[in-house]
Amino acid sequence: MIPLDRALRMLARKAYTVLEMERALAKAGVGERERNETVARLRELGYMDDLEVARARARTLIGRGAAPRWVERRLGEQGVSQDQARSAAGEAAEGASEADLLDRALRRRLRGRAPGGEKERRSLFRALVAKGHRPVQVARALGLEWNGDDE
């Protein structure tokens, strides 16, 4: 299959960053020169834009309760530049503070009810910290003691 056709089929299923597309084409056995030409052509046609992919993914991740700093890191791992990742995460947060985003994430997880008990509070703590929220803020929001590092 011609690399451009393969890439177009891939893009029909989901959006890719340049790095992700290069990796996928390499995994499919496409040579470096052909990969570079294919990605250049896709960008020329306007089918690939890392910033647009970052914006869409950031909106999704923030909507699912992730903290902007975690979103930035995740986008960076996906090949988005640091500046683009920061911009996309900031736009997705819509000016909300870290505390506001934490409150939204907590309300989303609890669906309007109070945490059940200590076990559920600890589970929520782990889940929210894993999504990039600062441990001290999460502990405070859940009424837990926290004496550890804030990272």
User: Longest C-alpha distance within the chain, in Å?
Assistant: 58
Residue 68 and residue 62: Cα distance in Å, rounded? 7
Q: What is the mean pLDDT of residues 132-137?
A: 93
What residues contact 140, with CB distance under 8 A and at least 6 apart?
146
- What the block records as the tokens of 112 is 């309007």
Render 46-107 in DSSP notation, one character per residue: T---HHHHHHHHHHHHHHTT--HHHHHHHHHHTT--HHHHHHHHHHHHTT--HHHHHHHHHH
136, two tokens: 């001290």
The answer on pLDDT for 136 being more than 70 is yes
The candidate with the shortest Cα–Cα distance to 50, out of 65, 64, 39, is 39
> Tens digit of pLDDT for each residue in 29-50?
999 999 999 999 999 999 999 9
Over 60: is that where the pLDDT of 20 sits? yes
Question: Is the pLDDT confidence value at 1 over 60?
Answer: no
Q: Which amino acid is at 34?
A: E
Mean pLDDT for all residues in the chain: 92
User: According to the model, what pLDDT value does residue 131 have?
Assistant: 95
Over residues 11-15, the mean pLDDT reads 95
Cα separations in angstroms, 138 against 89, 98, 104, 132: 20, 10, 12, 10
**Residue 151's pLDDT band (boundaries 50, 70, 90)?**
low
Which pLDDT score is estimated for 82? 96
Most confident listed range (48-52, 119-123, 139-143): 48-52
pLDDT at 55: 97
| Predicted confidence (pLDDT) per residue in 41-97, tens digit | 999 999 999 999 999 999 999 999 999 999 999 999 999 999 999 999 999 999 999
